Amino acid sequence: MNFLKRLFKKPTEKELATERNEPWFDIIGFGYDSETGNGAFELDWNQAFVEEKRIEGFVGNEQEDVVDQWFNTICRSVAMETYEKELADSGSKTNKAINKTVNKKYINKKDIGDGRSEIS
Protein backbone atom coordinates (compact mmCIF):
# COMPACT_ATOMS: atom_id res chain seq x y z
CA MET A 1 0.00 0.00 0.00
CA ASN A 2 1.45 3.34 -0.91
CA PHE A 3 2.15 6.09 1.59
CA LEU A 4 -0.94 8.24 0.85
CA LYS A 5 -3.34 5.29 1.15
CA ARG A 6 -1.80 4.36 4.51
CA LEU A 7 -1.92 7.99 5.65
CA PHE A 8 -5.64 8.38 4.91
CA LYS A 9 -6.76 4.83 5.71
CA LYS A 10 -9.73 4.77 8.08
CA PRO A 11 -8.93 2.63 11.15
CA THR A 12 -10.96 -0.55 11.62
CA GLU A 13 -13.04 -1.29 14.71
CA LYS A 14 -10.34 -3.74 15.78
CA GLU A 15 -7.59 -1.12 15.39
CA LEU A 16 -9.60 1.44 17.37
CA ALA A 17 -10.33 -1.02 20.18
CA THR A 18 -6.69 -2.12 20.25
CA GLU A 19 -5.56 1.52 20.49
CA ARG A 20 -7.85 1.97 23.50
CA ASN A 21 -6.72 -1.39 24.93
CA GLU A 22 -10.34 -2.60 24.84
CA PRO A 23 -11.28 -6.23 24.19
CA TRP A 24 -12.52 -6.83 20.64
CA PHE A 25 -13.88 -9.98 19.00
CA ASP A 26 -15.73 -10.72 15.78
CA ILE A 27 -16.95 -13.64 13.71
CA ILE A 28 -15.67 -12.73 10.26
CA GLY A 29 -16.78 -15.80 8.37
CA PHE A 30 -18.95 -18.89 8.50
CA GLY A 31 -19.16 -21.95 6.31
CA TYR A 32 -21.50 -24.93 6.31
CA ASP A 33 -21.18 -28.28 4.52
CA SER A 34 -24.71 -29.62 4.00
CA GLU A 35 -23.39 -33.08 3.15
CA THR A 36 -21.53 -33.59 6.43
CA GLY A 37 -23.49 -31.18 8.60
CA ASN A 38 -20.23 -29.56 9.73
CA GLY A 39 -19.89 -25.84 10.15
CA ALA A 40 -16.83 -23.65 10.49
CA PHE A 41 -16.38 -20.16 11.94
CA GLU A 42 -13.57 -17.76 11.14
CA LEU A 43 -12.82 -15.67 14.22
CA ASP A 44 -10.76 -12.55 14.82
CA TRP A 45 -9.78 -10.82 18.07
CA ASN A 46 -7.22 -8.55 19.70
CA GLN A 47 -4.77 -9.13 22.55
CA ALA A 48 -6.98 -7.30 25.08
CA PHE A 49 -9.77 -9.81 24.36
CA VAL A 50 -7.43 -12.74 25.09
CA GLU A 51 -6.23 -11.09 28.30
CA GLU A 52 -9.85 -10.58 29.40
CA LYS A 53 -10.63 -14.26 28.75
CA ARG A 54 -7.56 -15.36 30.72
CA ILE A 55 -8.74 -13.25 33.66
CA GLU A 56 -12.13 -14.99 33.35
CA GLY A 57 -10.35 -18.34 33.72
CA PHE A 58 -9.82 -19.55 30.16
CA VAL A 59 -6.36 -21.03 29.67
CA GLY A 60 -3.98 -21.88 26.87
CA ASN A 61 -0.43 -21.34 25.76
CA GLU A 62 -1.47 -19.70 22.50
CA GLN A 63 -4.08 -17.00 21.91
CA GLU A 64 -5.93 -19.42 19.64
CA ASP A 65 -6.23 -21.96 22.47
CA VAL A 66 -7.81 -19.39 24.80
CA VAL A 67 -10.26 -18.14 22.15
CA ASP A 68 -11.10 -21.71 21.04
CA GLN A 69 -11.86 -22.70 24.65
CA TRP A 70 -14.05 -19.64 25.17
CA PHE A 71 -15.88 -20.04 21.83
CA ASN A 72 -16.49 -23.76 22.44
CA THR A 73 -17.97 -22.88 25.85
CA ILE A 74 -20.32 -20.38 24.19
CA CYS A 75 -21.35 -22.94 21.56
CA ARG A 76 -21.99 -25.63 24.20
CA SER A 77 -24.08 -23.20 26.21
CA VAL A 78 -26.23 -22.35 23.18
CA ALA A 79 -26.63 -26.05 22.34
CA MET A 80 -27.67 -26.87 25.91
CA GLU A 81 -30.18 -24.00 26.03
CA THR A 82 -31.69 -25.23 22.76
CA TYR A 83 -31.80 -28.81 24.04
CA GLU A 84 -33.43 -27.79 27.32
CA LYS A 85 -36.00 -25.64 25.49
CA GLU A 86 -36.88 -28.49 23.12
CA LEU A 87 -37.35 -30.83 26.10
CA ALA A 88 -39.55 -28.30 27.87
CA ASP A 89 -41.55 -27.60 24.70
CA SER A 90 -42.11 -31.30 24.06
CA GLY A 91 -43.94 -31.60 27.37
CA SER A 92 -41.98 -34.74 28.22
CA LYS A 93 -42.65 -35.67 31.85
CA THR A 94 -40.42 -38.72 31.72
CA ASN A 95 -37.29 -36.57 31.44
CA LYS A 96 -37.29 -34.85 34.82
CA ALA A 97 -33.52 -34.45 34.82
CA ILE A 98 -31.86 -33.07 31.74
CA ASN A 99 -28.78 -34.93 30.66
CA LYS A 100 -26.02 -32.30 30.74
CA THR A 101 -23.69 -34.08 28.36
CA VAL A 102 -23.15 -32.95 24.81
CA ASN A 103 -22.34 -35.31 21.96
CA LYS A 104 -18.63 -34.99 21.43
CA LYS A 105 -17.45 -34.70 17.85
CA TYR A 106 -13.96 -34.34 16.59
CA ILE A 107 -13.01 -30.74 16.01
CA ASN A 108 -10.64 -29.90 13.20
CA LYS A 109 -8.43 -26.84 13.58
CA LYS A 110 -6.54 -25.34 10.64
CA ASP A 111 -4.12 -22.42 10.94
CA ILE A 112 -5.04 -19.89 8.23
CA GLY A 113 -2.33 -17.37 9.10
CA ASP A 114 -2.26 -13.97 10.78
CA GLY A 115 -3.02 -15.59 14.15
CA ARG A 116 -6.34 -16.95 12.88
CA SER A 117 -7.67 -20.50 12.84
CA GLU A 118 -10.44 -22.25 10.96
CA ILE A 119 -12.48 -24.56 13.20
CA SER A 120 -14.77 -27.18 11.74
C-alpha closest to that of 28 among 16, 17, 12: 12
Write down the pLDDT at residue 107. Answer: 57
Write down the pLDDT at residue 7. Answer: 72
Write down the pLDDT at residue 1. Answer: 55
Per-residue pLDDT band at 43 (split at 50, 70, 90): very high
pTM for the whole structure? 0.65
Write down the pLDDT at residue 120. Answer: 59
Q: How far, rounded to the nearest angstrom, does the alpha carbon of residue 61 sit from its chain's CA centroid?
A: 17
43-48: average pLDDT: 98
C-alpha closest to that of 22 among 45, 56, 55, 54: 45
Write down the pLDDT at residue 112. Answer: 74
